Amino acid sequence: MLVNKIVTIFRNFPKRHFAAILFFLLMLISIGILGNFDLSNQKKESDLSKILDIEQLDQLAQIEQIYTARETVIKRNDSLFSILKNFGIKNENIINLINSKNSNLLSSIEIGDKIKVNLDENNEINDLLYIDDFQSGVRAERFENTYRINKFKNKLEKINIFKHVVIQDSMYMSGLREGIPDSVLMDVVYINGWDIDFTHDIRPGDSYSLIYEEILVDGEKVIDGNVLISEFINKGKKITSIRFDLTNGKSEYFSIDGINVKKAFLRSPVKLSHISSKYNLRRRHPVLHTIRSHNGVDYAASKGSPVRATGDGTISFAEYNGGCGNEIKIKHSEDYTTRYCHLDKFNSSTKVGRKVKQGQTIGYVGSTGLATGPHLHYEFHVNGKHTDPLRVQFPNATPIKSDDEIRFNQVAYNIARQLNNYKDISLKEEVPSG
Ligand SMILES: [Zn+2]
């Protein structure tokens, strides 16, 4: 009965399977036969199972060379000598390294870079690596009684990272929650800071998408690279900024139409502040209690906060002046003048006739003149007329030069298309399935 059953099973088996089983059985038999005949093999097996004595263990340890790895990030006042001393390395070993050829490559170490060493059982340096952010640096390897010291450079690889963020609270906090590194968020603020005032303009539901680079060595991230494109939706308005390497070697950000995102003026003359009073042609003056027009914007900030020149220009006034208190005026061009009031102090370099750069500190927030508390009163004059600094359309910085235009259009087209592809994919993923 049993035999019959097996035969039926084999009959029902596809021929291919049958051949495979036959082959497998033959293999088993041949391994068995060969194994039995190979006596040396059997001997090896018994060698391995034998308990090793202490002497043999010592010999094995010498062959395997067990090293202790130590590493440190270079801090202020560190020297190569002090770092190696901290690792418990003896003076003569350190001197041996320093006396080796090319040791000058290790003479200028920089704060924030890394030193890694592998120490042998005598706590002597077997090899040492001095590594910078990009995982390149200097390698020292023991060779007989000295060290071979050489520079090395790892191959960098760049990958593009896409992120899409819907703002719930602040642009910064919402970005961090999506895993965007701090340095990249700072770049996003800088790139969009010409169009958006991040302390006053952001609304919940605003969003931004970006592509930035990550720099890898051996498949591991070593540093965040540049933001290649940023697309910000602020109160329904889309602002796209694309990074472009100009032929003059500089990299700047441009709108999709090739307009430099940089403006001739900063949005706000005080960084950490809030607007305490807007431009208003009919306002009750807080000190005089009469209806007077407010010809500027007040930025409340703590006493001593730096006040920045909002654009390049020349100081045309810098002294105490009645209700304005310590006052500075900057002439930016024939058309544009800015005025800063109630300053606690002027910067030492703020003198009439001196040139200033955009962002340069010209003075410090105070409450000199007619002021209820420390704030900056800031005015923007166009052709001699008061203008609301929060509404004025600032002139643009230099646009793309015609010889860069074709290349820019290609770069802009490619990166914008890449961003749209990423957005399409991520939006599809957000749709719940089923
Ligand atoms: Zn004011």
> Can you give the pLDDT of all 434 residues of the chain as single tens digits?
444 444 444 444 445 554 554 455 445 444 444 444 444 444 444 444 445 455 555 555 555 678 999 999 999 999 999 999 999 999 999 999 999 999 999 988 889 899 999 999 999 999 999 988 777 899 999 998 899 999 998 888 999 999 999 999 889 999 999 999 999 998 998 899 888 878 778 899 999 999 999 999 888 888 899 999 999 999 999 999 999 998 888 899 999 988 888 888 888 899 877 788 888 776 766 666 666 788 899 999 999 999 999 999 999 999 999 999 999 999 998 889 999 999 999 999 999 999 999 999 999 999 999 998 999 999 999 998 998 888 887 777 777 888 888 999 999 999 999 999 999 988 776 655 44
Instruction: Yes or no: say if 198 and 190 are a contact pair by the CB < 8 Å rule.
Output: no
The C-alpha atoms of residue 401 and residue 217 are separated, in whole angstroms, by 36
**Measured in angstroms, how far is the CA atom of residue 304 from the centroid of ligand 1?**
17
User: Quick one: which of 314, 337, 340, 311 has its CA closest to 325?
Assistant: 340
Quote the ligand 1 centre to 294 CA distance (angstroms): 6
State which H helix or E strand residue 224 sits in: strand 220-234
- Name, in order, each residue with C-beta under 8 angstroms of 331's C-beta and a sequence gap of 6 or more: 313, 314, 316, 337
Q: Measure 277 CA to ligand 1 centroid, in angstroms.
A: 7
The pair of three-digit structure tokens given for residue 191, joined into one six-digit string: 């790139």
**Rounded to whole angstroms, how far apart are CA atoms 266 and 310?**
5
* φ and ψ of 355, to 5 deg: -85, 145
- CA separation for the pair 126, 297 (Å, rounded): 65
Query: Rounded to the nearest whole angstrom, what is the distance from the C-alpha of residue 296 to the centroid of ligand 1?
Result: 6
Q: Using the mean position of ligand 1's atoms as its centre, give its distance from the Cα of residue 371 in Å.
A: 8
What's residue 16's pLDDT? 52
CA–CA dist 408, 416 (Å, integer): 12
331 Cα–ligand 1 center, Å: 20
The residues pairing with 158 across neighbouring beta strands, listed in sequence order, are: 215
Q: Which amino acid is at 81?
A: F
Ligand 1 centre to CA of 189 (Å) is: 27
Q: Decide: 110 and 131 in contact? Cβ < 8 Å.
A: no
**pTM of the model as a whole:** 0.59
Q: Report how far apart, in Å, the C-alpha atoms of 271 and of each of 253, 279, 284 are.
A: 21, 19, 27
pLDDT at position 2: 44
pLDDT score at 61? 52
CA of 255 relative to ligand 1 center, distance in Å: 34
Q: How far apart are CA 400 and CA 351, in angstroms?
A: 34
Distance 323 CA to ligand 1 centre (A): 10
How far away, in angstroms, is 5 Cα from ligand 1 center?
A: 103
